[in-house]
């Protein structure tokens, strides 16, 4: 049975890790999958050690015919994430192992710059080598990045089958933001919006993951939650907030819609599902939209099948199998 090895931040909190674990748990029919963690949360030294351990593990695997994968599937964001993955990619290419470069970042285009930039040309040279394919998350990202990288494929992120629609009664005025404690995720903006909105809705509650502390008893800082706790929040909150600066295809949105939870996001974000509400990038605009969503609640219709695990498995089956036919 052919084997694919997923390399990336599978043991770190976040959407990319969720995607990796779901793809490894539900590989295409006739395939097996393994995970190799290349990242840890911590200091630069800790991250470097995690990268070096992963490189050493990959070297051992490629030298052992019983462990050698048929395909290496690299999961990458931009900047330093790419720099680490490009090292794995170079080594795998030298060993004649087919590779998938799976771009998750919502800022890969701006990080690359123009198609003629030194960075774009460098990345394009590496990913256009024989036996390497680049996959992005949406058709929009395919269009945006092909000028920089050449021909691309797109495959949507899978929804974990354990995330299911719930008919349970939701909290009435309960906002939720999920993501790592990073300025680009917009926790401070969500707090500003909630404080303004609380003047109109005194019982308002805000729950934040990724953040460890709060100065208000109605703002609940939950840190990193378990999968069971995450599912409970998705099935009980009123609205998921997505005030991110940029996103590729945020898993939390796919999971929220799959749970029947409405989502409000910045209107400048690309490739969001059509069911997502958007607002201009001001706290006042967000409060206005949230008031409308509170006053006229409705059930989310997330009937789209493109994130269904069986559909995603089929697309990856075609991608992986295309290597074996060469």
Q: Let me know if 303 is exposed, middle or buried by CB neighbors in 10 A (0-12, 13-18, 19+).
A: exposed
Within 10 A of 194 (CB to CB), how many other CB atoms are there?
Answer: 25
Separation CA 97–CA 152 (nearest Å): 19
Q: Are 111 and 119 in contact (CB under 8 A)?
A: yes
Lowest model confidence (mean pLDDT) among 99-103, 177-181, 295-299, 319-323: 295-299
Q: Let me know if 300 is exposed, middle or buried by CB neighbors in 10 A (0-12, 13-18, 19+).
A: middle
Q: Are 136 and 152 in contact (CB under 8 A)?
A: yes
In this predicted structure, the answer to whether residue 309 has a pLDDT above a threshold of 90 is yes
Residue-level pLDDT at 304: 60
pLDDT digits (tens, 9 = 90+) for 130-186: 999 999 999 999 999 999 999 999 999 999 998 888 788 899 999 999 988 888 889
DSSP 78: S
Q: Are 98 and 132 in contact (CB under 8 A)?
A: yes
Per DSSP, the residues of 45-65 read HHHHHHHHHHHHHHHHHHH-T
C-alpha dihedral over 135, 9, 250, 179, to 10 degrees? -170
Collapsing DSSP states into helix, strand and coil, what is residue 97? coil
Residue 265 pLDDT class (50, 70, 90 cuts) = very high
Read off the pLDDT of each residue in 32-45 and give the average, rounded to a whole number.
Answer: 93
Residue 273 pLDDT class (50, 70, 90 cuts) = confident
Collapsing DSSP states into helix, strand and coil, what is residue 42? coil
The alpha carbon of residue 244 and the mean position of all alpha carbons in its chain are separated, in whole angstroms, by 13
Q: What are phi and psi of 271, to 5 degrees?
A: 60, 30
Separation CA 164–CA 258 (nearest Å): 6
Separation CA 78–CA 203 (nearest Å): 40
Separation CA 84–CA 76 (nearest Å): 9
The per-residue pLDDT of the chain, averaged, comes to 93
The alpha carbon of residue 267 and the mean position of all alpha carbons in its chain are separated, in whole angstroms, by 19
Q: Which of 185, 100, 160, 106 is nearest to 138 (CA)?
A: 106
Collapsing DSSP states into helix, strand and coil, what is residue 94? helix
Q: What are phi and psi of 176, to 5 degrees?
A: -135, 135
Separation CA 223–CA 207 (nearest Å): 10
Read off the pLDDT of each residue in 260-285 and give the average, rounded to a whole number.
Answer: 91
pLDDT digits (tens, 9 = 90+) for 16-35: 999 999 999 999 999 999 99
Q: Are 33 and 22 in contact (CB under 8 A)?
A: no
Residue-level pLDDT at 324: 78
Residue 297 pLDDT class (50, 70, 90 cuts) = confident
Q: What percent of the chain has pLDDT over 70?
A: 98
Residue-level pLDDT at 326: 67
Lowest model confidence (mean pLDDT) among 15-24, 69-78, 247-256, 286-295: 247-256
């Amino acid at each position: 049975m052919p084997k694919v090895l997923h390399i990336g931040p599978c043991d770190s909190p976040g959407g990319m890790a969720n995607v990796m674990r779901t793809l490894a748990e539900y590989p295409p029919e006739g395939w097996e999958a393994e995970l190799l963690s290349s990242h840890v949360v911590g200091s630069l030294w800790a991250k470097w050690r995690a990268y070096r351990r992963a490189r050493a593990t990959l070297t051992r695997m490629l030298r052992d015919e019983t462990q050698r994968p048929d395909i290496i599937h690299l999961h990458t964001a931009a900047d330093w994430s790419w720099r680490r993955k490009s090292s794995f990619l170079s080594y795998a290419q030298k060993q004649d192992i087919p590779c998938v470069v799976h771009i998750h970042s919502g800022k890969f285009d701006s990080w690359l710059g123009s198609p003629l930039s030194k960075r774009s040309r460098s990345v394009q040279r590496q990913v256009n080598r024989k036996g390497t394919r680049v996959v992005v998350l949406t058709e929009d990202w395919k269009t945006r990045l092909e000028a920089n990288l050449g021909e691309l494929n797109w495959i949507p992120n899978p929804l974990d089958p354990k995330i299911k629609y719930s008919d349970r009664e939701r909290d009435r005025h309960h906002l939720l933001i999920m993501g790592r404690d990073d300025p680009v995720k917009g926790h401070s903006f969500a707090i500003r919006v909630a404080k303004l909105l609380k003047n109109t809705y005194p019982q308002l509650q805000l729950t934040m993951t990724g953040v460890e502390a709060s100065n208000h008893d109605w703002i609940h800082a939950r840190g990193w939650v378990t999968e069971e706790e995450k599912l409970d929040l998705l099935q009980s909150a009123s609205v998921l907030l997505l005030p991110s600066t940029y996103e590729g295809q945020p898993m939390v949105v796919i999971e929220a819609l799959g749970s029947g939870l409405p989502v409000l996001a910045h209107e400048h974000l690309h490739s969001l599902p059509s069911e997502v509400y958007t607002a201009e990038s001001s706290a006042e605009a967000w409060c206005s939209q949230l008031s409308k969503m509170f006053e006229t609640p409705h059930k989310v219709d997330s009937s789209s099948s493109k994130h269904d695990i069986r559909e995603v498995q089929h697309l990856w089956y075609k991608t992986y199998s295309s290597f074996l036919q060469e």
